[in-house]
Amino acid sequence: MDLMQILKALSEETRVRILNLLMVSELCVGEIEYLLNINQSNASRHLTALKNASLIIYEKKAQWIYYRINIDALEQYSFVKNLLENQLQAMDLYNKDKERLKQYKESGKVCSDLKECNANNCSDKK
């Protein structure tokens, strides 16, 4: 893990928002797109930067790739953990993202539902 890559990754708000969500739950790309209202290209670009900084790791499950926080990175760079666990709590945007995640999880939707929604232009997306 390279400190400069971590700092660069944290310098973009969307990436911090992704990390904020991943602190709560493992998510697939489609869920990240849905929750942050970003397109697939942007989500992939941000996820690549976070992976390159070793802040997140991923696992392929069936046809979906799920991302989660790299706990080893948080242990090595405690300032990142402090940022995600403490500092963001005072900021409305990050709390709203977590609330959307909570509502999404309560809805029972999964990655495949979102792909179908995108293909069919579901009106409940946002």
In tens, the pLDDT along 39-57 reads 999 999 999 999 999 999 9
**pLDDT at position 125, please?**
39
Q: Name 71's Cβ contacts closer than 8 Å, sequence gap at least 6.
A: none
In tens, the pLDDT along 62-115 reads 888 999 999 999 999 999 999 999 999 889 999 999 999 999 999 999 888 886
Domains of the chain, CATH where assigned: 3-119 (1.10.10.10)
Q: Is 100 helix (H, G, I), strand (E, B) or coil?
A: helix
Cα separation, 86 vs 108, whole angstroms? 28
DSSP-derived letter for residue 12 is S
**pLDDT at position 119, please?**
41
In tens, the pLDDT along 108-118 reads 998 888 865 54
Sheet containing 56-61: give its strands across: 27-28, 64-69, 56-61
- Closest residue by Cα to residue 36 from 97, 89, 122: 97
Cα separation, 52 vs 121, whole angstroms? 32
Model-level pTM?
0.88
Whether the per-residue pLDDT at 11 is higher than 80: the answer is yes
**pLDDT at position 115, please?**
65
- Range with the lowest mean pLDDT among 23-27, 33-37, 85-89? 85-89
